[in-house]
Amino acid sequence: MRRAGVIMLALIALVATLAPWLAPNPPDHRFGDLLYAPPTPVHIFDGDGAGPHVHAWRLVSRIERRFEDDPSSRGPLLVLGADAYGRDIFSRLLNGGRVTLALAVCATLAATLLGALIGGIAGYAGGSLDAMLSRLSEFVLVLPAIYVALALRAVMPLVLPASTVFVLLLVIFALLGWPMVARGVRAIVVSEREREYAIAARAAGASAARILVRHLLPAAGGYLRTQATLLLPAFILAEATLSYIGLGFPDTTPTWGTMLQEASNVALLGDAPWTLAPAAAIFAVVLGVNLVVQGTGRAPVQLEP
Amino acid sequence: MGAFLLRRFVFAVVLLVCTSSTALLLTRLAPGDLTSQLGPIASRSEIETTRARFDLDRSPLTQWALWATRAIRLDFGDSFLFNRPVGPLVVRAAGNTAALAVVALAIATLLGISLGILTGSRQGSRLAAFVGMVSMVCVSLPPLLTSLVFVFIAARTGWLPAGGMSSAGASDMGWVAWIADVAWHLPLPALALAVPIAAVFERLQSQSMADAVRQPFVIAAVARGVPSRDLILRHAWPASVRPLCAVYGLVIGALLSGSFIVEYVTSWPGLGQLMYQALRGRDVYLVAACAAMGAVFLAVGTLAGDLLLAAADPRVREGDGA
């Protein structure tokens, strides 16, 4: 089970990294007459010995969005069909995965690092600093994360370039994610601080920062890895949610969240189920993480949001 | 118990004051204000009167102080977007969210616990393996995905209405017809919210049930010849329910977060929708009131979770000081 999860996640990461080379079409190219075109079947044996190729879709009815296979001409390969602008969903999915996953990975690293530092300081310092940091992290933990992310994002200018959004969401996610990490790290540091090796390091004259970073935090390594695995899908979802409601990346940037906006039109969703492809991608990541986490003997947790 | 309730109450008040004040100040300090809703051709005097009506011509701190003194007298200000006091607006939206959340929680509890008892007490059977696999898939389906998938199914099949809380004109048909109409719209969002939570409950219950049936007192009960139905429901289950009660207090956060996106996808007119509109329109007092209402939900939810845990676990009751 655990191995299946690891393989799934590794595959997704690989495909997202190689997106520009794997995507059959440029993600922003609009095929004018292929709005909401269904996936194109690949013809391998057509009798003419032409090798694998794709027939063009011929638009039969623009109003009904009905397409017909045109064997006489070749068309673009649309593995998952096209969206409202006639853009290739598969290529956008691969390229969008890059943005979504890059943001989630960066945010996870930032939140884990911040949480480890704050938790470590709180656990090592003790006293009033510990009490204050612990109260703060409890307070952030109590709040429903998506509302806080929504509020923090909504009070910024609503239209921003994609790179600014990336940094902004990174900061917001890190600010929301650190308490999950800090609480456990604090508990570990508090108990490790009194062990012989830490006392020995102190007796040898090591500075507080050195003891914390070189001696105490490595003891929390396993815990940090588990927390990071849990934060990653939560951040993917947070990005998807914010972009879906129009408060994330601008809709010209392909991400899994902005792509899901295509699925928000109920009238068209029933006829164009391929617009749900990003939902399937998100599901694959969350399932992969849950398989990995379950392999370590923990009950799976519901990830906010 | 009294000290515990008092501490909870103080915490709730602090949470309420902090969240609503922060929401107010954040919205006030955000670029742009609600006068941008007036459009580009609004006259200068109109903009000035609107700004004065919502205290936007004063400093943020003065505005906060004015709002706070009025809020103590239960006057939470007006909404600009809806042009009426925010109180009734927020209460109505909160009622819709509460209905959604309570129904979802009930579905999740019933489904999760009964399936969890089943799989936990019959570990290794084919049925348990199948249910376990299904709930593993459902755990990985957050509300954003379940609501989209359910809306897709509804749009495709027409079994259930795909969005909204009532049909157009339903309010004219009398309240019986209105309730029936709302009940017809409720299952889709409630299920979308319930499915992932039910899966978490199922996994937890399954695990703790599997632990419980291995306990010596259960084996002793088997030896005494207790029928297997009583064995599971009256001996093993009460001992296995504690971890589940412990997550109930946390579920309220998941419910609130989940209901936001479910409301958005299925157009359920709840607190999440209202908060979203208010934030986008920079409707200061509506944002503050929504945040306050969210804090009330949180406080009530965590309190209910704590009481439940105390009811299920005598150790929590005895160790009052913790």
So what's the pLDDT on residue A51? 67
Average pLDDT over residues A215-243: 88
For residue A299, what are the contacts with CB-CB under 8 A and spacing of at least 6? B200, B203, B204, B207
Task: List pLDDT tens digits, range A186-195.
Answer: 988 888 888 8
Q: Which two tokens stand for residue B277?
A: 């509109």
> pLDDT tens digit string along B139-190?
888 899 999 999 888 888 878 887 777 777 666 777 788 888 888 888 899 9
Helix then strand then coil, in percent of chain B rounded to 5, is 80, 0, 20
Which residue in chain A is spatially nearest to B32 when comparing CA positions? A157
Name the helix (H) or strand (E) containing A130: helix A127-142
Q: Pinpoint the alpha helices (H) of A193-213.
A: 196-203, 208-210
Q: What three-state secondary structure class fits A53?
A: strand
Q: What is the pLDDT of residue B320?
A: 47
**pLDDT digit string (tens) for A275-292?**
888 999 999 998 888 888
Q: Which among B151, B272, B275 is the nearest to A269, CB-wise? A: B151
Q: Among the ranges A47-51, A266-270, B247-251, B286-290, which has the highest mean pLDDT value?
A: B286-290
Query: How far apart are the C-alpha atoms of A47 and A70, rounded to whole Å?
Result: 16
Position A295 scores a pLDDT of 61
Band (A300; pLDDT cuts 50, 70, 90): very low
Instruction: Return the beta strands (E) in A10-140 as ranges.
Output: 42-43, 53-61, 66-74
In Å, the largest CA–CA distance within chain A is 83
Q: Does A60 touch chain B (CB under 8 A)?
A: no
Quick check: A53 and A69 in contact, CB under 8 A? Answer: no
Interface test with B, best of A8, A142, A269 (most B CBs within 10 A): A142
Q: What pLDDT, on a 0 to 100 scale, did the predictor assign at position B91?
A: 93
Q: Taking the alpha carbons of A261, A264, A267, A272 in that order, is the dihedral positive or negative?
A: positive
Contacts of B152 in chain A (CB under 8 A): 263, 269-270, 273, 276
| Cβ–Cβ below 8 Å for A144 and B26 | no
Distance CA B243, CA A189 (A): 26
Identify the pLDDT of residue A283: 92
Q: What is the pLDDT of residues B106-115, one digit of tens each?
A: 999 999 999 9
Interface test with A, best of B119, B145, B302 (most A CBs within 10 A): B145
Q: Does B200 touch chain A (CB under 8 A)?
A: yes
- Cα A136 vs. chain centroid, distance in angstroms? 26
Q: Does A100 touch chain B (CB under 8 A)?
A: no
Which residues of chain B neighbour A152 with C-beta distances below 8 Å? 26
- pLDDT over threshold 70, residue A303: no
Q: Which of A157, A266, A283 sits opposite B140 (nearest CB)?
A: A283
Judge whether residue A161 has pLDDT over 80: yes
A101: pLDDT confidence band, cut at 50, 70 and 90?
Answer: very high
ipTM of the complex: 0.84
B7 touches chain A (CB under 8 A): no
Measured between CB atoms, does A8 come within 8 Å of chain B?
Answer: no
Q: What is the CA radius of gyration of chain B?
A: 24
